[in-house]
């Protein structure tokens, strides 16, 4: 008897999935445990294995289409079995997903009807879309193409490097054939699931497929044509200036070109030091723009009066600025922190820590530890231990419920060139100080080289942000959602303190706890800080 295969819920926040790739075709035999498809969720691209057996009779959504949870995506049964009744009884993927393409093709008239039947399968090609490479990614920028149109590629080849909001990552082709089409140039951005390339047999004409995808936007063309005459004169004038500023034909490495773009430097102004005058990274970094000579002042000298006037020297300045495109990472930082600050009601609690014992303990630990342990490593360990005693702080707001995490995954905020990353030290309460130190150092190196993966920064339950190394006394941080709290760590300062009734030199560090008032109350946060203070002022308790 035929059985319906529905879109599964692969994460707690998933509402729909995108069919990234079908690994079975209609007519194929499917066994339990076989890989049927790859599905892009809101978190990652995951394998979908069949829990049923039979022949694949029907496939609903095509590759690249989004499908709501529980919608019908396929039907398994006996060869030749009638499955139409199952489709009539259950909501199909086409009913749940948007119908914009269907409406656009219907309104284009009978002449466009033949194009509506063009599919990647009918042409024997594979469409490669912009993949979802992180849980917060909405678009990606092509950092560089590793192949050009006409090149032969294999399924495991990396066809391009894509800059996401977190890092620069490789995009794999997952198909054998010839690169027939490239949708955008290096440096351009594409939304997640937009077509970026097409792979298939050499000589295949993919124009009908591209025209079909572009049909919905063609309706806006007449309105744009009307305005062409108005801007034609401006375009002619602007083109003259663009020719001078256009540096696309200058010989430069991809990295040098990217750095120059980020700094707003025109490559025409730089002299390359590599073979053939090619510009490399060091040429861009060492480039100093020529200073403009201020025009001589023509202001007449003030006329002398009977009273002695104060003569001020004339100073000629120049107003100037540089604008750079917002990176994917900066866009995500702006969006996520804005959502956190304006959604979660923040409040802050500050406490001073006597770090005298911690400093002595750290010195002794580093005499025997395989890696150098920092004060931040000690704070991370102390936070994890304190969270086990105060689970209410180790929580997150879920709308209609509050999640109390029983594990302690500590996010460690790290500054990088483009912004901020928060890799996660998992189960930190059970790890030694040396283990935590080695893990944080590895994350820092990966962050600088943009080698962190989504698995490195997902799943935090609490975040530690430390600006003490910059000499900051104390500060407040915005909560890293969905965490319920964040700890801001200041510098250790030598200040006078009172001990046993006498004023003596002391080493004090200030900690500020930022709390989401929806899940953490003031008294709860204060009790957590008391426990944390006791651990840091007597660090031997961390080793017990």
Catalytic positions: 517, 521
Q: Please tell me the distance from the alpha carbon of residue 207 to that of residue 183, in angstroms, as a whole number.
A: 12
Provide the token pair at 335: 């969006």
Q: Which residue matches tokens 């879920």?
A: 398
3-class SS of residue 438: helix
What is the 3 state secondary structure string of 252-314? ECHHHHHHHHHHCCCHHHCCCCCHHHCECHHHHHCCCCCCCCCCCCCCCCCCCCCCCCCCCCC
Judge if the upstream peptide bond of residue 394 is cis by omega within 30 degrees of 0. no
Provide the token pair at 507: 């080493």
Is residue 50 a contact partner of residue 33, using CB atoms and an 8 Å limit?
Answer: yes
Is residue 412 a contact partner of residue 401, using CB atoms and an 8 Å limit?
Answer: no
Work out the burial of residue 102: count CB atoms within 10 Å of its CB; fewer than 13 is exposed, 13-18 middle, 19 or more buried.
exposed
Q: Please tell me the distance from the alpha carbon of residue 428 to that of residue 307, in angstroms, as a whole number.
A: 77
Is residue 391 a contact partner of residue 405, using CB atoms and an 8 Å limit?
Answer: yes
Strand partners, 412: 464
**Mode of pairing for the β-strands spanning 485-499 and 462-466:** parallel
Q: Please tell me the distance from the alpha carbon of residue 210 to that of residue 289, in angstroms, as a whole number.
A: 44
Q: What is the DSSP string of 177-235?
A: EEEEEE-S-TT-EEETT-EEEEEESTT---HHHHHHHHHHHHTTHHHHHHTHHHHHHHH
């Amino acid at each position: 008897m035929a059985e319906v295969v529905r879109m599964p819920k692969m994460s707690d926040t998933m509402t729909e999935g995108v069919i990234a790739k079908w690994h079975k075709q209609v007519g194929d035999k499917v066994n339990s445990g076989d890989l049927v498809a790859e599905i892009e969720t809101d978190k990652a691209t995951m394998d979908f294995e069949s829990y049923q057996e039979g022949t694949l009779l029907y496939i609903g959504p095509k590759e690249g289409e989004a499908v709501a949870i529980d919608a019908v995506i396929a039907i398994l049964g006996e060869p030749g079995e009638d499955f139409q009744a199952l489709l009539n009884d259950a909501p199909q993927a086409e009913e749940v997903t948007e119908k914009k393409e269907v409406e656009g093709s219907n309104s284009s008239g009978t002449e466009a009807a033949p194009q509506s039947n063009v599919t990647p399968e009918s042409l024997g090609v594979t469409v490669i879309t912009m993949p979802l490479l992180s849980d917060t990614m909405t678009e990606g920028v092509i950092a560089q193409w590793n192949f050009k149109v006409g090149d032969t590629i294999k399924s495991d080849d990396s066809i391009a490097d894509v800059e996401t909001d977190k890092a620069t990552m490789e995009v794999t082709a997952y198909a054998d054939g010839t690169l027939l089409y490239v949708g955008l140039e290096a440096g351009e951005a594409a939304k997640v699931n937009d077509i970026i390339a097409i792979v298939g047999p050499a000589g295949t004409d993919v124009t009908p497929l591209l025209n079909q995808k572009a049909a919905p936007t063609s309706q806006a063309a007449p309105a744009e044509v009307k305005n062409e005459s108005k801007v034609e004169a401006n375009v002619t004038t602007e083109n003259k200036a663009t020719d001078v500023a256009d540096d696309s034909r200058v010989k430069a490495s991809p990295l040098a070109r990217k750095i120059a773009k980020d700094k707003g430097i025109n490559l025409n102004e730089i002299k390359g030091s590599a073979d053939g005058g090619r510009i490399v990274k060091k040429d861009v970094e060492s480039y100093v723009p020529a200073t403009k000579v201020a025009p001589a002042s023509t202001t007449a000298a003030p006329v002398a009066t009977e009273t002695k006037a104060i003569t001020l020297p004339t100073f000629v300045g120049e107003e100037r600025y540089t604008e750079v495109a917002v990176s994917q990472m900066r866009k995500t930082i702006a969006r996520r922190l804005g959502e956190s600050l304006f959604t979660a009601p923040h409040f802050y609690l500050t406490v001073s820590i006597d770090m005298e014992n911690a400093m002595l303990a750290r010195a002794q630990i580093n005499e025997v530890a395989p890696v150098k342990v920092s004060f931040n490593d000690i704070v991370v360990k102390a936070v994890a231990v304190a969270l086990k005693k105060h689970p209410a702080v180790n929580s997150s707001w879920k709308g209609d419920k509050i999640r109390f995490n029983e594990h302690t995954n500590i996010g460690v905020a790290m500054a990088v060139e483009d912004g901020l990353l928060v890799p996660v030290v998992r189960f930190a309460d059970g790890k030694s100080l040396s283990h935590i130190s080695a893990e944080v150092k590895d994350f820092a190196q990966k962050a600088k080289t943009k080698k962190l993966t989504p698995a490195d920064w997902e799943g935090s339950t609490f975040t530690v942000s430390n600006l003490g190394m910059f000499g900051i006394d104390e500060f407040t941080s915005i909560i890293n959602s969905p965490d319920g709290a964040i700890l801001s760590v200041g510098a250790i300062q030598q200040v006078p303190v009172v001990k046993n009734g006498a004023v003596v030199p002391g080493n004090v560090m200030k900690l500020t706890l930022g709390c989401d008032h929806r899940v953490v109350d003031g008294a709860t946060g204060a009790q957590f800080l008391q426990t944390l203070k006791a651990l840091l002022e007597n660090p031997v308790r961390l080793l017990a």
